[in-house]
């Protein structure tokens, strides 16, 4: 049956103490399931008795399969790092390991076992989350408690408390999470900061912000008054925090819990828990919720004004600079001056032949290059971890991986960090195991930059242009040598960098002449971008990139070098135009052309 029906993978994480309530969840899930789907249920655990396994296994059906997955071996190495408090157990972290545990799945549902399902779970699974890491509903407790709202904005770092989601019901885009390298980033964050209020949920919100599809609250309704939700529309009830009908009387929606609980083998056990739950324990639960709010207030107060300003405000001077740049880009586009940089750089000293060792032929140059590339790799990792470089998707990786010869990589130029995006692609393609990636840079970038960036520009396999003819002779020799020994060279054929400019600009012929002369392909890469909800210190949204790698463009044997370079340039321009129009769903048009037409 599994092969004939669409499969919906559903994950739970429990131990023996929560098995009775898992049974209630399964009763409700099965009662509202559809015969059109196969429900593959995985129960992640570290301690479940054989008796409980047998009881839960009775919920197997023709289109429902239940599997118990022992995670002791997997958790053992990190269990000491998994902070817990109060009634939380380390099973709450299990959901964070699902992407790596199950590479065969691209998409799954995760459910807490204190839930009752009133609708068909397939509706939740079929929500479109393309391009997002998760789909989740806002956390009702946060939406209703001011102390929690301040905490999630100032400590966790969400752009708005309205975007802070509850992690008890998730649709997980495992394919996207693996591309994002989610587990490595979680382990890194786990070692660098400690969230004490909602623990794994806070980590999830911190890691995934800007990449979450917020879904209606009917998919994660907690027993908290909410005038905006019609009870008849509710799909899943979540008895979160202390709102447990097996502990308290008069919990909202408790009738739904008991409706399904009475059909389980655990009804007597659940009633025993409730009947023997003391007033002292109920008082303790209410005090824990009170203490949780106090903890949120304390954590928020520890942040201080500097952190608050950093997260909620921006540098007005930087924003003004960006606005001036955007106006200048509009002016340059109208004038058709596409090959001029919009940012004013200081005058660069002329780079003489003795100032640059293009092929690292000197031992000191090789030493500095090795050090710079190691530091650069760590710097790139930090950019990605800190959400300063966000790569949403890489399309066409096989086109890069297929090239065994030397090649020219062309890319649009819109940010000082876009070369790091190409570096990351080069690493992920595994071409770095046998090849080097050189970057053509401007003369001023090589000679003017101080500090760490200057160190990178001068030593991370860069090929600086020069206004000196003799130096350019050495540059050309180096290009030929690099391509003939089967390495790659990144060139920005637009020549100019326009900040966050999304359109492809007209191309210059140099890159294509190098490729034609050395009989190597051009690999066209065009990076498209979207706003995230993460605001940079300049007041503008940080962009997330989709890196589009097109098929290599090879020179043709029967054409001359000049004919080949012209044809390859035109083909490059064509594929960039197609990517732009397909991604943004608008035709590629320039104000230059419009103004000329208006003037006729």
Q: What is the signed CA dihedral for 563, 567, 568, 570, rounded to 10 degrees?
A: 140
Q: How many CB atoms lie within 10 A of CB 69?
A: 15
Least confident of 190-204, 228-242, 528-542: 190-204
Position 30 scores a pLDDT of: 96
Q: Is residue 247 a contact partner of residue 14, using CB atoms and an 8 Å limit?
A: no
Position 346 scores a pLDDT of: 66
Which residues in 251-279 are b (16+ Cβ under 10 Å) and which e?
Answer: bbbbebbeebbeebebbeebeebeeeeee
Q: Mention every residue, 6+ apart, whose C-beta is less than 8 A from residue 492.
A: 410, 411, 412, 413, 440
In this prediction, residues 467-473 reach a mean pLDDT of: 93
Least confident of 388-397, 451-460, 584-593: 451-460
CA distances from 423 to 77, 185, 419, 503, 581 (A): 31, 19, 6, 22, 25
For residue 347, with 0-12 CB atoms within 10 Å meaning exposed, 13-18 middle and 19 or more buried, which class applies? exposed
Position 313 scores a pLDDT of: 55
In this prediction, residues 441-447 reach a mean pLDDT of: 81
Position 366 scores a pLDDT of: 87
Q: Is residue 108 a contact partner of residue 173, using CB atoms and an 8 Å limit?
A: no
Q: How confident is the model at residue 488 (pLDDT cuts 50, 70, 90)?
A: very high
Q: Is residue 523 a contact partner of residue 400, using CB atoms and an 8 Å limit?
A: yes
Distance between CA atoms of residues 337 and 506, nearest Å: 10
Q: What does 216-262 look like in DSSP terms, one character per residue?
A: -GGGSB-SS--TTS-GGG--EEE--TT--TTT-SS-TTHHHHHHHHT
Q: Which helix (H) or strand (E) holds 279?
A: helix 279-312
Distance between CA atoms of residues 287 and 514, nearest Å: 72
Query: Nearest-CA neighbor of 198 among 226, 166, 174, 221?
Result: 166
Q: Mention every residue, 6+ apart, whose C-beta is less than 8 A from residue 304.
A: none
For residue 304, pLDDT over 60 is answered with no
In this prediction, residues 32-43 reach a mean pLDDT of: 95
In this prediction, residues 444-471 reach a mean pLDDT of: 82
CA distances from 73 to 110, 152, 262 (A): 21, 33, 36
Q: Give the tokens for residue 572.
A: 């490059």
Q: How confident is the model at residue 596 (pLDDT cuts 50, 70, 90)?
A: very low
In this prediction, residues 174-196 reach a mean pLDDT of: 82
Q: Can you tell me whether residue 575 is helix, strand or coil?
A: helix
Position 91 scores a pLDDT of: 57
Q: Can you tell me whether residue 428 is helix, strand or coil?
A: helix
Distance between CA atoms of residues 397 and 558, nearest Å: 29
For residue 307, pLDDT over 70 is answered with no
Structural domains in the chain plus CATH codes = 7-242 (3.90.550.10), 362-598 (3.40.1130.10)
Position 20 scores a pLDDT of: 96
Position 600 scores a pLDDT of: 46
Q: How many CB atoms lie within 10 A of CB 570?
A: 12
Q: Point out which residues pair with 543 in neighbouring strands.
A: 531
In this prediction, residues 13-28 reach a mean pLDDT of: 94
Q: What does 11-56 look like in DSSP terms, one character per residue?
A: EEE--GGGHHHHHHHHHHHHHT--TTSEEEEEEEES---HHHHHHH
Cα 276 vs. chain centroid, distance in angstroms? 46
Distance between CA atoms of residues 290 and 284, nearest Å: 10
Q: Can you tell me whether residue 544 is helix, strand or coil?
A: strand
* pLDDT tens-digit series, residues 209-235: 888 999 999 999 999 887 777 888 999
Per DSSP, 59 falls in state: T
Pick from 41-55, 151-165, 535-549 the range whose average pLDDT is largest. 41-55
Q: How many CB atoms lie within 10 A of CB 82?
A: 18
84 against 416, higher pLDDT: 416
Q: Point out which residues pair with 488 in neighbouring strands.
A: 407, 437
């Amino acid at each position: 049956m599994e092969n004939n029906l669409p499969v919906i993978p559903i994950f739970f994480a429990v131990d023996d103490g929560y098995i009775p309530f898992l049974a209630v969840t399964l009763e409700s899930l099965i009662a509202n399931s559809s015969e059109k789907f196969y429900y593959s249920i995985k129960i992640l655990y570290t301690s479940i008795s054989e008796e409980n396994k047998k009881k839960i296994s009775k919920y197997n059906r023709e289109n429902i399969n239940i599997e118990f997955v022992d995670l002791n071996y997997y958790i053992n190495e990190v269990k000491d790092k998994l902070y817990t408090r109060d009634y939380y157990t380390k099973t709450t972290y299990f959901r964070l390991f699902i992407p790596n545990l199950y590479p065969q799945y691209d998409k799954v549902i995760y459910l807490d076992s204190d839930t009752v399902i009133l609708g068909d779970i397939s509706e939740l699974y079929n929500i479109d989350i393309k391009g997002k890491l998760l789909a989740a509903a806002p956390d009702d407790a946060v939406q209703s408690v001011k102390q929690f709202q301040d905490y999630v904005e100032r400590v966790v770092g969400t752009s708005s408390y309205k975007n802070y989601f509850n992690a008890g019901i998730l649709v997980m885009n495992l394919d996207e999470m693996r591309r994002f390298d989610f587990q490595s980033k979680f382990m890194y964050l786990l070692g660098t900061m400690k969230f004490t209020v909602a623990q794994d949920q806070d980590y999830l919100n911190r890691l995934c912000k800007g990449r979450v599809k917020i879904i209606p609250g009917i998919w994660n309704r907690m027993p908290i008054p909410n005038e905006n939700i019609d009870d008849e529309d509710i799909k899943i009830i979540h008895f979160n925090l202390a709102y447990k009908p097996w502990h308290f009387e008069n919990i909202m929606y408790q009738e739904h819990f008991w409706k399904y609980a009475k059909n389980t083998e655990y009804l007597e056990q659940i009633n025993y828990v409730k009947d023997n739950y003391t007033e002292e324990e109920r008082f303790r639960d209410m005090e824990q919720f009170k203490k949780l709010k106090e903890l949120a207030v304390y954590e928020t107060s520890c942040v201080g004004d500097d952190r608050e300003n950093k997260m909620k405000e921006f540098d007005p001077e930087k924003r003004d600079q960006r606005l001036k740049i955007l106006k200048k880009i509009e002016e340059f586009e109208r004038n058709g001056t596409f090959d001029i940089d919009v940012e004013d750089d200081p005058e660069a000293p002329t780079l003489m032949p003795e100032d640059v060792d293009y092929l690292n032929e000197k031992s000191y140059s090789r030493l500095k290059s090795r050090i710079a590339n190691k530091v650069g790799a760590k710097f790139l990792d930090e950019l990605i971890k800190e959400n300063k470089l966000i790569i949403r998707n890489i399309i066409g990786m096989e086109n890069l991986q297929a090239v065994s010869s030397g090649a020219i990589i062309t890319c649009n130029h819109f940010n000082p960090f876009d070369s790091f995006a190409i570096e990351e692609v080069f690493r992920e393609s595994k071409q770095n195991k046998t090849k080097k990636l050189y970057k053509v840079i401007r003369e001023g970038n090589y000679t003017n930059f101080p500090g760490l960036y200057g160190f990178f520009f001068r030593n991370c396999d860069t090929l600086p242009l020069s206004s000196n003819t003799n130096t350019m002779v050495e540059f050309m020799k180096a290009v030929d040598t690099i391509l003939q020994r089967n390495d790659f060279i990144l060139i920005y054929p637009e020549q100019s960098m326009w900040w966050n400019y999304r359109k492809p600009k007209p191309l210059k012929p140099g890159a294509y002449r190098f490729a034609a002369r050395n009989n190597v392909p051009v690999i066209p890469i065009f990076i498209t971008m979207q706003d995230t909800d993460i605001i940079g210190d300049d007041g503008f949204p940080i962009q997330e990139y989709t890196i589009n790698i097109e098929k290599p463009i090879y020179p043709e044997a029967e054409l001359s070098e000049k004919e080949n370079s012209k044809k390859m340039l035109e083909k490059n321009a064509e594929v960039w135009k197609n990517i732009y129009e397909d991604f943004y769903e608008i035709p590629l048009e320039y104000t230059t052309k419009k103004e000329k037409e208006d003037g006729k």
